[in-house]
Structure 1
Amino acid sequence: MTRHAGPGEPAAYTLRVAGHLDPHWAPALGGLALTHDDDGATSLSGVVADQAELHGLLARIRDLGVTLLSVAIVDQT
């Protein structure tokens, strides 16, 4: 059975945005690992402390003016 983290628990996420972000944005995006995908998108991966931090990351992505393609919690089993 898969168990997902609750709202106050750390969880691993992968967020995808349109375009290739420059790696210098990683610290501003919670230190998530940035990977340039072959389809022209950027994947941001790593552990997010809680839902508040996730919402902060989403706000920073919005403020960058890039298109958010997806947000997925990654099963850590």
Structure 2
Amino acid sequence: MTGSRWPAHYEIRVDGVLDDRWADWFGGLQVNGEDTQTAIFGLIADQPALHGVLTKVRDLGLCLVSVRRLSSDETRDGTWQ
């Protein structure tokens, strides 16, 4: 696949609220519960690592809302933090 660069920053949103204690479960990604959803975000090494995170979402029985690869502008200006 051309044009894909790894590692890459991702934001994964799920229904339900998890607190930051789940960060270890998600391999050190940041976990931020907001309202009725949780944002899981950070640097993901490669495609298999992304699928691993999504498997963990499934294993917890969470409803996946979105998966978004963040642009370099979003990660540079800190909007993902």
Give the TM interval when normalised to the shorter protein: 0.7 to 0.9
**What residue number does 2:43 align with?**
47
Q: Which amino acid aligns with 1:14?
A: E
**What residue number does 2:68 align with?**
72
Q: Tell me how large the CA RMSD over aligned residues is.
A: 1.3
Structure 1 residue runs without a partner (length 5+): none
CA distance in 1, matches of 2:42, 2:58: 19
* Count of residue pairs the alignment pairs up: 71
Q: Return the offset for 1:24.
A: 2.1
The 3-state SS of whatever aligns with 2:58 is: helix
* Higher relative contact order, structure no. (Cα contacts within 8 Å, ≥ 6 residues apart): 1
TM-score using structure 1 length: 0.83
Runs of 4+ more than 3 Å apart:
none
Q: 2:14 touches 2:62 (CA, 8 Å); kept in 1?
A: yes
Q: Which amino acid aligns with 1:22?
A: D
CA distance in 1, matches of 2:32, 2:4: 24
Structure 2 residue runs without a partner (length 5+): 74-81
TM-score using structure 2 length: 0.79
CA distance in 1, matches of 2:63, 2:72: 27
